[in-house]
Amino acid sequence: MDLNFIQRLIRPAETKIVLLVLDGVGGLPTEPGGLTELEAAHTPNLDDLAARGICGLQQPVGPGITPGSGPGHLALFGYDPIRYQIGRGVLSALGIDFDLKADDVAARGNFCTLDDDGRVADRRAGRIPTEKNEELCALLRKIALPGVEVFVETVKEYRLLLVLRGKGLSGELADTDPQQVGEGPLEPEPLSAEAERTAGLVKEFVGQAWQVLADHHPANMILLRGFSKLPDWPSFEQVFGLRPAAIAAYPMYRGVAKLVGMDVLATGATVDEEMEALEAHWEDYDYFFLHVKPIDSAGEDGDFGRKVRLIEEVDTVVPRLMALEPSVLLVTGDHSTPSLLKYHSWHPVPVILWSRQCRTDDVDRFGERACIDGGLGPRIPAADLMPLALANAMRLEKFGA
């Protein structure tokens, strides 16, 4: 639904909403006909919640679309992830907790190998180790550009982040990454008149970078893509009238939460520590986004058994969460990560919405097949969950007299 439409219906209330994201929770059986990770897990508390709540499967972006973490979470926050797209440079910055400012331009970078003719021989510079990356970033940081501040940050292995800080910069630049070997790096072409100065600065930067890196084969050049600035979106609090807080141990998720204006609470990395942060701040906010990462990591590692155990671990904290007496609790994932595929996937994600007035269905098990029969249906758009949560929290006015 359109955010303006929702915003006009918001009314104040004293209720609290919790979104518990089990990152990558949806899965697949290892063998046809078998159980998924979630179905194999012993989850008495989530099953009880499913029985008392309304269930379904949610589709983060669209049919067949495998979501990245950014779109997967934006959808759960109620923002249509196709309309509200985050630039790749900005996503890179969020992923390493870089404190991006409103006027900054960020780009995702690769160290690469150029051959003697100046053509790309390896887009990833032989996947240099992170330590080498840090050493080279220190060199690149010495490059000075007129009128702007330059930040060069290590992401991991061959990946880096470039940020230019100054007035009047634009993210409307074409990539310098040709995306294939055998071609030279491209010019950072401006895609609008306002971007001409920024294009000149980036051109100057990559020119100097080539000189700085010349003797550092295989990492003798950089390629840049996804030039972008922080988006100018309506904040979560503006739209939904909720004071929101994020509890997440990983930078990317804190970053996406910050993007919509959530306060980010300090937390340790375990589920117990995240629960402590939730309890400590329970009175201070109306909405809590609680992010549990390791389930996804187990899926990416192809470790079915570990994914099962991690789901079971989260199950044990559900009573502790319910003891806080939230008005509405949503439990779901930002996408599926089947250990069979070792990667994010397009499969819809099981969801439970619980409130005192949610109108329950006959589902009494939190699992992929069980949730097909739920009252939310087998393909509810993830972004529709936010207005439903607001309604269940008695925070939406009637539409039309």
Give the footprint of its own copies on residues 204-263 (CB under 8 A).
none
Binding residue for its own copies, selected from 24, 95, 255, 350, defined by CB under 8 A:
95
- Strands 263-264 and 244-247 turn out to be parallel
Two structure tokens written together for 356: 């005192």
* Minimum gap (Å) between residue 69 Cβ and its own copies: 7
- Residue type for 315, please? D
| 338 is a contact residue toward its own copies (CB under 8 A) | yes
Q: Closer CB to its own copies, residue 13 or residue 341?
A: 341
Near its own copies by CB under 8 A: residue from 57, 169, 209, 292: 57
* 81 versus 218: smaller Cβ distance to its own copies: 81
- Categorise residue 254: left if φ over 0, alpha if ψ from -120 to 50, beta otherwise: alpha
Between 85 and 208, name the residue whose CB sits nearer to its own copies: 85
Q: Per CB under 8 A, which region of 40-48, 162-170, 179-187, 337-345 contacts its own copies?
A: 337-345
What SS3 string covers 350-370?
EEEEEECCCCCCCCCCCCHHH
Are 21 and 291 spatial neighbours (Cβ–Cβ below 8 Å)? yes
Q: How many residues bind its own copies (CB under 8 A)?
A: 71
Kindly indicate which of the ranges 139-147, 267-275, 314-322, 339-347 contains the residues binding its own copies, using the contact rule CB under 8 A.
339-347
Site for its own copies in 355-384 (CB under 8 A): 356-357, 359-362, 368-369, 372-380, 384
Is the dihedral angle over the CA atoms 370, 376, 380, 384 positive or is it negative? negative
Q: What is the smallest separation between the CB atom of 395 and its own copies, expressed in angstroms?
A: 9
Q: Is 67 in the site for its own copies (CB under 8 A)?
A: yes
d(CA 288, CA 369): 28
Is the peptide bond prior to 190 cis by the omega test (within 30 degrees of 0)?
A: no
Q: CA-to-CA distance for 102 and 158, rounded, in angstroms? A: 27
**d(Cα 248, Cα 199) in Å, to the nearest integer?**
36
Rounded to a whole number of angstroms, the minimum distance from the CB of residue 87 to its own copies is 10
Q: Which of 19, 76, 257, 340 binds its own copies (CB under 8 A)?
A: 340
Window 123-152: residues binding its own copies (CB under 8 A): none
**DSSP-derived secondary structure for 103-138:** T-EEEEEEEEEE-TTS-EEETTGGG--HHHHHHHHH
Binding-site member from 91, 162, 199, 262 for its own copies (CB under 8 A):
91
Are 294 and 251 spatial neighbours (Cβ–Cβ below 8 Å)? no
Residues 68-87: x/- map of binding to its own copies (CB under 8 A)? xxxxx--------xx--xx-
φ, ψ dihedrals at 236, nearest 5°: -55, -45
Pick from 14, 32, 193, 211 the residue near its own copies by CB under 8 A.
32
**By CB under 8 A, residue 387 contacts its own copies:** yes
**Alpha-carbon distance 254 to 84, whole Å?**
17
Query: Which residue, 101 or 359, has its beta carbon nearer to its own copies?
Result: 359
